[in-house]
């Protein structure tokens, strides 16, 4: 463990509680200040934690104690807050997607480079034992050369449970930009970067109805595609078939499968840290589970921030900006392909993030 890193959080909504728990648990991170447009919400969110300042965004960014800004705002605000943090000389770690558009994300990364600060981004779930054990199996040659993968996320929509789901139905949201980061980050971890995409997409309804909280029953507009499918051609030659949907009642399809020359793997939900990896070799009957062999065990959201904070100078963090930029580029290109009807070449690339050895619970 290195030096303790002081964290300032901007955005204290639904996901913030999970981060606060992890930061509280990990000795290498310390929560010093939080900000939100709604200061009452921020106060309420940090009520269980002593000694955390509740301040304006400007005050948080001016606080010399803050080493890294954890940006938990809605996707449309990610770039604005990140650029302000970078201008204040802070490292910044964002929730996904990195920004609402590739243009905004590019501006963030260039500004960070110029300022000599670092950008990290969720999801960190892929650093857990689920995706990492599957990655080790692939790297160890268990299924031979990977040929193909499938990735399926099917839900009737987050407005059923999220009290303020507006951001899921505007640019930066939709099933692809919201859930795609988990799946595509896992696929890039497993199979490497993507070179071309071919997409198709649809939008079933113009409005959605909020299903919980004080706004229950309120209708919100839908301005993004809500069923997105496509093929990702990885630079390795492997082909992923992807379905991301807010229009399906349920599915029994595995979240991710990877098929190689010698066998197939079931990869657990990339929106979770753990889960069982299953393998079936060519000619074998059924599936056998693999023991946990890699990744942060018992992790929660925020372990990627700890990993980011402890990455030595000059090394790309695992949950790093260039990976998140590539994932966003793949998603935006998939939507562009869906609208033009033509394949889109991906101009960005990234290295597969460094693997994580099996690290017992609490480690980072």
Contact residues: ligand NAD, CB under 6 A: 10-16, 35-38, 41, 57, 72-75, 77, 81, 95-96, 162, 164, 178
Count Cα atoms within 13 angstroms, Cβ side, for 6.
Answer: 14
- 45 or 137: whose CB is closer to ligand NAD? 45
Residue 46 forms beta bridges with which residues?
none
Q: What is the largest CA-CA distance in the chain?
A: 63
Nearer to ligand NAD, 9 or 350 (CB): 9
Could you identify the residue written with the tokens 């909020």? 210
Q: How far is CA 328 from CA 50, 348, 364, in A?
A: 37, 10, 26
Q: Is 100 helix (H, G, I), strand (E, B) or coil?
A: coil
Of 61, 70, 127, the C-alpha closest to 95 is 70
The dihedrals phi and psi of 201, each to the nearest 5 degrees, come to -150, 155
Is the dihedral angle over the CA atoms 239, 245, 247, 253 positive or is it negative? positive
What is d(CA 305, CA 19) in angstroms, rounded to the nearest whole number?
A: 9
Taking CB atoms, the residue at the shortest distance from ligand NAD is 13
Of 81 and 153, CB closest to ligand NAD? 81
Give me the least distance between CB of 57 and ligand NAD, in Å please: 5
Compute the least distance from the CB of residue 272 to ligand NAD, in Å. Answer: 11
Nearer to ligand NAD, 128 or 192 (CB): 128
Closest approach, Cβ 307 to ligand NAD, in A, equals 17
HSE on the CB side for 68, CA within 13 Å? 26
Nearer to ligand NAD, 35 or 117 (CB): 35
Contact 11, 93 (CB under 8 A): no
Question: C-beta of 11: minimal distance to ligand NAD in Å?
Answer: 3
Q: In angstroms, give the least distance from the CB of 178 to ligand NAD.
A: 6
Please say which residue, 135 or 162, places its beta carbon nearer to ligand NAD: 162
Least Å from the CB of residue 225 to ligand NAD: 17
């Amino acid at each position: 463990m290195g030096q303790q890193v002081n964290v300032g959080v901007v955005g204290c909504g639904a996901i913030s509680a999970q981060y606060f728990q992890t930061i509280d648990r990990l000795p290498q991170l310390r929560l010093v200040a939080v900000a939100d447009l709604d200061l009452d919400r921020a106060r309420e969110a940090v009520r269980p934690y002593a000694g955390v300042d509740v301040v304006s965004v400007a005050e948080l960014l001016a606080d010399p104690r803050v080493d890294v800004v954890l940006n938990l705002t809605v996707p449309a605000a990610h770039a604005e807050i990140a650029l302000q943090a970078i201008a204040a000389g802070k490292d910044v770690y964002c929730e996904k997607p990195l920004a609402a558009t590739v243009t905004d994300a590019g501006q963030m990364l260039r500004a960070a480079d110029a300022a000599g600060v670092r950008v990290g981004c969720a999801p960190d779930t892929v650093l857990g034992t689920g995706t990492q054990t599957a990655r080790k199996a692939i790297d160890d040659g268990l299924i031979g050369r990977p040929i193909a993968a499938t990735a399926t996320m099917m839900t009737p929509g987050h407005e059923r449970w999220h009290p303020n789901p507006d951001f899921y139905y505007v640019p930066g949201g939709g099933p692809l930009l919201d859930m795609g980061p988990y799946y595509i980050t896992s696929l890039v971890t497993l199979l490497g970067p993507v070179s071309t995409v071919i997409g198709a997409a649809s939008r079933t309804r113009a409005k959605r109805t909020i299903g919980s909280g004080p706004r229950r029953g309120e209708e919100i507009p839908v301005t993004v595609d809500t069923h997105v499918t496509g093929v990702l051609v990885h630079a390795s030659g492997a082909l992923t078939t992807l379905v991301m949907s807010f229009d399906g009642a349920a599915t029994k399809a595995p979240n991710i499968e990877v098929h190689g020359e010698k066998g197939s793997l079931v990869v657990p939900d990339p929106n979770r840290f753990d889960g069982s990896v299953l393998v079936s070799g060519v000619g074998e009957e059924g599936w056998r589970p693999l023991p946990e062999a890699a990744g942060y065990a018992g992790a929660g959201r925020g372990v990627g921030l700890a990993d980011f904070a402890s990455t030595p100078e000059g090394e790309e963090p695992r949950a790093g900006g260039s990976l998140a930029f590539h994932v966003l580029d793949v998603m935006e290109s998939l939507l562009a392909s869906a609208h033009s009807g033509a394949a889109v070449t991906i101009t960005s690339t990234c290295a597969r993030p460094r693997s994580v050895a099996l690290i017992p619970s609490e480690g980072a």
